[in-house]
Structure 1
Amino acid sequence: MRRGRTSAVLLYGSVTVLSLLWLVPVATAAMIAAVPIGQTREGWWHAGFGDLTLDNLVEAWREALSGYAVNSFVIAVGSVALTVVTGAMASYAFARMRFAGKRIVYLLLISTMIVPVQIILIPLLPWLRTLGLSTGDTQFLGIILVHTAFGAGWAVFMMSSFFADVPEELLEAARIDGARHLDILRRIVLPLAMPGIVSFAIIDFVFVWNDLLLGLSLLDRDHQPLTVGLANLQSPHLAQENLVAAGSIIAVLPPLVLFALLNRYYVRGLFAGGVKG
């Protein structure tokens, strides 16, 4: 018992120290964003409650980031929705159906997980131009399709295991009652596998939301995401670190809010299948 307690204290102590170290840059950015730039240059740690202000956040939002944020939401929501829908149908097929070449197709799809985006970035440009997805608002559709292609392997890899854990007896009973595959997927499999679906959706949203390379390379200035806007904010305001810090906080908030709202499903998804019975 003493050894167990000592191990637990060491484990939780180490995790606490690492968490505090990880929070140092985040807390620093939050404090810089919450005080005037004059106070920042004198040392934000000397600031009091009376110095706190939201002016930096408001200015960063109005000056450059509002349009970029809308673009990010369009890209992220569209990409995640399309990836989840297509990934769920593909995962059901791989987990519950038999067809010729199933293993080969599965391996080819999973192999996309190890393909770096930098390898096919240059070929993507003429492909999108040929398909007419490189001008105007069609750029949103183009980058959504690209993110969906990169996320499909992860979707099948994560969700197919949850679909495979659904008891076969339930599916057999539904087939006896005359349910088709789409009915079984919609009414039985999806509700039971919801923790896994939500877990993937959160991970995919964070990945798409934080993307910089694809947004910078495939989109024009009017359609680029928040990450590109934040990078651009550092050039004309290099000496105004308060705006850069405020923009960073704005960019971090949506994934944090999403995780806080769906944390219950995310934790259930991570530990699903760990205990049987």
Structure 2
Amino acid sequence: MWIDTHCHLDAAEFDADRDAVVARARAAGVEQVVIPAVDVHNLDAVRLLAIQHDFTYALGIHPLCVMRAAEGDLGSLAEALETHHADPRLVAVGEIGLDFFVEGLDPEVQQHFYVEQLKLSKRAGLPVLLHVRRSADKLLAGLRRVGFTQGGIAHAFNGSEQQAQAFIDLGFKLGFGGTLTFERSLQIRRIAASVPETALVMETDAPDIPPHWLYKTAEQREASPGQARNESAELPRIAASLAELRGWTLERTAAITSANARAALPRLR
């Protein structure tokens, strides 16, 4: 059985057929899905979806959303974390982090919301789901600055081998998804093949980061705008790429990555 450690099931892309998406995931053997929030406006949405479908959730403010967030949103997040702290479905604070790829985002504002949410997570005794995009070193610096020891998952990891080891040394697992299926993703595939097996978890980031068989070419996007939608049912086929890289059976890959997910997010147990 599989655990999708990162799926935005509340996204508008799923509004038309969300129940069918969940049904396909279960039919594919995905037994658990973690649904992260992205701002204070969807804190309730992800929690209610988790209850409805017997999944789990995380609460946080995404770095791509902090420019429209107010300081009071941190207070709202703190209140939600306190209110739902006893809910076993609440497994992490997230999705939080830093994004230095997208233009127009104030790095100081991002840093402020990141560090403050680390403090909230530390206070709640919860791990974090970290957004890592051209920001690994700054994320690591923030973890050390706060003295963060709850660990979590470096979502959609795309850093260097040295950065991978630094996250692992701080108690984090590394999330791998659709990017792993592209043969040209040499560094990510090399890291997935070489890090300790205890560091690996699977994710989709659905509806984003589609695997190669769903990815649209530029010509296809021109003919039909928009990117192909990813979903949790694709997780076992994505994981087959990891199994091939590691020389594992698919069954062993499921067992290892699911055990790692439960270690990273203890409430999944």
Structure of greater relative contact order (alpha carbons < 8 Å, 6+ residues apart): 1
Question: TM above 0.5, one fold?
Answer: no
Whichever structure has more helix as a proportion of its residues is 1
Name the larger-Rg structure.
1
